[in-house]
């Protein structure tokens, strides 16, 4: 009788043991798949939410007077706009700058009020070797402006109105809500429009960026400054520490939870499968003794137990992947509302599950299998 047929007969004869072992594998795989998929969603969610808080890196001209910078809120020096392109083109390999955005800030008097003019580039620049972002930056179309809350109140304007900025007509694209910051007295416009208004063509005074979340040891700010010195020595980087720390903590929180929970789940499931396999060996002592007496070798006896474990692993991997993915797809949109539409099954995990789960089940059954193949058939049959 073939080994596979013996395994199938064993499964049919001891259904309850098979179902309990299968449940252990399904649980381990489903939890891993659900958590891995959720971790991917969490990273996208964190990126979007932290992006909404604002960029956490500011690259300004190196000669900036920092006393004046903090007093004014922006650098009183400027640098060529093409610095951002040079920075992006020179970078190679792993770099901790993402989402580079050229901006120009100036303080002017408008309708008797001191306001902040901010020009924003139409799109971000991606450093060399970094994947393109699918997230659109805050951008203003040419000929349009966004007005801060206090300016809207003082000027009594609304969306769609036309305002005069130093002899040029601009349409109010949006009246911004109150923020409780200097953004309430800010006018946002397209970078080229603002450069033209303040007569600073092709000049900027700040490159905004996001710091990538890396786990490298040491001070991240020192690494950022070292990289900037290499690729753009004319610049100086300022890290908004509160935002950076919030992004880093949020990003790593779920990862730490996952790293601590998964080993406990795997150990528990391994003990579960091993205990069931041990009980199966005890129940089949007489059957194993008969097979040994009939001339079945240790290899074939081991193949019976380990083969059953492999079949359990394969079926458990498939079911676990479906359950884990289903859990992520059903509950993910409720948890990660911002990126709900981006939640997708991660199919390469099915391939890994089909490889690892059988090996995991076989390894968990290894000790009971050793016991089965080393027992003396004469002693077993005499006891029976």
Q: What is the largest CA-CA distance in the chain?
A: 108
> Are 176 and 272 members of one domain?
no
> Are 375 and 320 members of one domain?
yes
Q: What is the pLDDT of residues 100-144, one digit of tens each?
A: 889 999 999 998 899 999 999 988 887 665 555 544 456 788 999
Residue 339 scores a pLDDT above 50 = no
> Are 257 and 200 members of one domain?
no
pLDDT at 21: 79
Residue 382 scores a pLDDT above 60 = no
Q: What is the pLDDT of residues 74-107, one digit of tens each?
A: 999 999 998 888 877 766 555 677 778 899 999 9
Which of 196, 217, 239 is the C-terminal boundary of a domain?
239
pTM over 0.75: no
Which of 239, 264, 295 is the C-terminal boundary of a domain?
239
> Are 327 and 374 members of one domain?
yes
Q: What percent of the chain has pLDDT over 90?
A: 21
d(CA 230, CA 227): 5
52 lies in some domain: no
Q: What is the pLDDT of residues 9-22, one digit of tens each?
A: 767 767 777 787 78
> Are 227 and 87 members of one domain?
yes
244 lies in some domain: no
> Are 200 and 62 members of one domain?
yes
Angle between helices 241-283 and 348-364 (to 10 degrees): 50
> Are 63 and 190 members of one domain?
yes
> Are 201 and 294 members of one domain?
no
> Are 303 and 196 members of one domain?
no
| Domains in the chain, number | 2
Residue 342 scores a pLDDT above 90 = no
Residue 283 scores a pLDDT above 50 = yes
Least confident stretch, 144-148, 158-162, 357-361: 357-361
> Are 42 and 83 members of one domain?
no
> Are 68 and 154 members of one domain?
yes
pLDDT at 80: 93
| CA 323, chain centre distance (Å) | 22
Residue 226 belongs to what domain range?
A: 57-239
Place of tokens 């206090």: 150
Which of 239, 272, 301 is the C-terminal boundary of a domain?
239
Average pLDDT, the chain: 76
């Amino acid at each position: 009788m073939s080994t596979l047929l013996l395994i199938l007969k064993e499964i049919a004869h001891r259904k309850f043991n098979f179902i309990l072992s299968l449940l252990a594998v399904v649980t381990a795989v489903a939890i891993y798949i659900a958590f891995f998929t959720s971790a991917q969603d969490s990273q996208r969610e964190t990126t979007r939410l932290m992006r909404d808080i604002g960029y956490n890196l500011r690259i300004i001209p190196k000669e900036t007077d920092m006393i004046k910078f903090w007093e004014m809120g922006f650098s009183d020096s400027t640098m060529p706009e093409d610095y951002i392109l040079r920075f992006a083109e020179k970078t190679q390999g792993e770099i901790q700058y993402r989402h580079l955005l050229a901006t120009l800030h100036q303080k002017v008097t408008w309708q008797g009020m001191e306001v902040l003019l901010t020009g924003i580039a139409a799109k971000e620049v991606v450093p060399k070797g970094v994947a393109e972002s699918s997230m659109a930056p805050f951008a203003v179309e040419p000929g349009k402006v966004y007005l801060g809350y206090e300016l809207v109140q003082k000027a009594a304007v609304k969306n769609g109105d036309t305002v005069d900025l130093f002899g040029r007509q601009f349409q109010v694209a949006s009246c911004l809500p109150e923020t409780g910051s200097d953004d309430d007295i800010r006018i946002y416009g397209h970078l080229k429009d603002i450069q033209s208004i303040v007569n600073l063509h092709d000049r900027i005074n700040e490159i905004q960026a996001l710091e990538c979340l890396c786990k490298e040891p040491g001070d991240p700010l020192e690494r950022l400054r070292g990289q900037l010195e290499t690729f753009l020595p004319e610049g100086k980087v300022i890290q908004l520490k509160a935002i950076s720390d919030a992004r880093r903590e949020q990003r790593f929180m779920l990862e730490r939870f996952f790293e601590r929970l998964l080993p406990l789940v795997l150990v528990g499931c391994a003990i579960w499968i091993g205990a069931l396999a041990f009980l199966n060996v005890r129940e089949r002592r007489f059957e194993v003794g008969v097979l040994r007496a009939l001339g079945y070798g240790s290899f074939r006896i081991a193949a019976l137990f380990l083969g059953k474990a492999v079949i359990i692993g394969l079926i458990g991997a498939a079911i676990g992947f479906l359950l884990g993915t289903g859990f992520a797809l059903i509950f993910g949109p409720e948890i990660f509302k911002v990126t709900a539409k981006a939640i997708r099954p991660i199919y390469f995990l099915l391939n890994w599950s089909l490889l690892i789960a059988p090996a995991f089940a076989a390894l968990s059954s290894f000790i009971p299998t050793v016991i089965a193949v080393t027992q003396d058939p004469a002693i077993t049959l005499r006891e029976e």
